[in-house]
């Protein structure tokens, strides 16, 4: 492929050939890839390509939704294969209600991932299982998939689990990091500026995630996918934020 090949197509080719085995070199290589894809000049071209292609916009909208953790999950690329990688946008867009801001969305993941902050600032609280910590209700979380679309969420109560909070983490726009699947954290909802990350999800490493809460009631729920025009508006707002906040990097 040449430099004239669309960025979206090049991104699909890149993530489609990534090795599934976990190793130090693979971790570093994937971090380099997400940094490259998230560079303003590249991600802006990718997003414009999505907006300018009605069939592609509709396809991505049909598997993207507002996540129960209060962010928009925009699935740019996903084969539906548990062994494959996936490329997503996680978009937090204030304002949030007081209830949402205080909602206890502590969780781990089924997979490790690499992420870069496109705009805003990502602040996370981190936790470990520890008998000296605060007890939370623990729930086993399993998404229901239909092809490459997550159509619902299922939860099973596992009892009480003590968690101790550790040092928080913070990433500014342009920063990139890897998060291992077993790490327990929650994102602090931004109160003012839009925050968005580009996420390269690795192959699945376990079949369920754990969610910890003392306030939420978890029942099977369905996900409402975005209409194409709704997704287009979200992508347009994201492009404007990137151009406004990272113009010196373009």
Q: What pLDDT does 24 receive?
A: 95
Most confident of 69-83, 91-105, 193-207: 193-207
Each residue's pLDDT tens digit, 35-45? 999 999 999 99
Do 73 and 88 meet the contact criterion of CB atoms below 8 Å apart? yes
Average the pLDDT over each of 96-110, 167-181, 207-221 and give the range with the smallest value.
207-221
Q: How far apart are CA 169 and CA 166, in angstroms?
A: 9
What's the mean pLDDT in 208-234? 87
Sketch the domain layout of the chain as residue ranges. Answer: 7-249
Helix (H) or strand (E) holding 27: helix 24-38
In this predicted model, which residue has the larger pLDDT, 157 or 235?
Answer: 235
Cα three-residue angle 163-166-169, rounded to 5 degrees: 125
Whether the per-residue pLDDT at 4 is higher than 90: the answer is no
Q: What pLDDT does 1 receive?
A: 46
Q: Is 129 in a helix, a strand, or coil? A: strand
Phi-psi region of 70 (alpha: psi -120 to 50; beta: other; left: phi over 0): left
Q: How far apart are CA 58 and CA 63, in angstroms?
A: 9
Confidence of residue 135 (pLDDT cuts 50, 70, 90): very high
- State CA 176 to chain mean position distance: 13
Which CATH superfamily does the domain covering 7-249 fall into?
Jelly Rolls (2.60.120.10)
Mean pLDDT of the chain: 91
Percent of the chain with pLDDT over 70: 93
């Amino acid at each position: 492929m040449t430099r004239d090949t669309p960025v979206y197509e090049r991104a699909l080719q890149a993530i489609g050939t990534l090795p599934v085995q976990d190793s130090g070199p693979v971790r570093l290589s994937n971090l380099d890839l997400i940094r490259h894809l998230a560079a303003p000049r590249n991600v802006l071209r990718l997003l414009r390509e999505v907006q300018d292609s009605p069939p592609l916009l509709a396809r991505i909208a049909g598997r993207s939704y507002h996540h129960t953790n209060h962010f928009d999950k925009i699935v740019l690329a996903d084969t539906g294969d548990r062994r494959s990688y996936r490329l997503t946008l996680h978009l937090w867009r204030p304002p949030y209600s007081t209830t949402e801001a205080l909602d206890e969305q502590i969780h781990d993941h089924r997979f490790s991932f690499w992420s870069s902050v496109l705009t805003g600032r990502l602040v996370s609280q981190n936790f470990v299982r520890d008998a000296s910590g605060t007890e939370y209700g623990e729930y086993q979380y399993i998404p229901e998939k239909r092809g490459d679309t997550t159509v619902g969420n299922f939860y099973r109560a596992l009892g009480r689990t003590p968690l101790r909070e550790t040092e928080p983490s913070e990433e500014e726009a342009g920063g990139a990091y890897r998060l291992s699947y077993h790490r327990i954290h929650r994102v602090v909802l931004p109160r003012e500026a839009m925050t968005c990350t580009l996420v390269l999800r690795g192959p699945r490493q376990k079949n369920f995630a754990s969610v910890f809460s003392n306030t939420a009631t978890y029942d099977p729920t369905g996900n409402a996918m975005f209409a194409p025009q709704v997704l287009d508006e979200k992508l347009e707002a994201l492009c404007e934020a990137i151009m406004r906040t990272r113009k010196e990097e373009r």
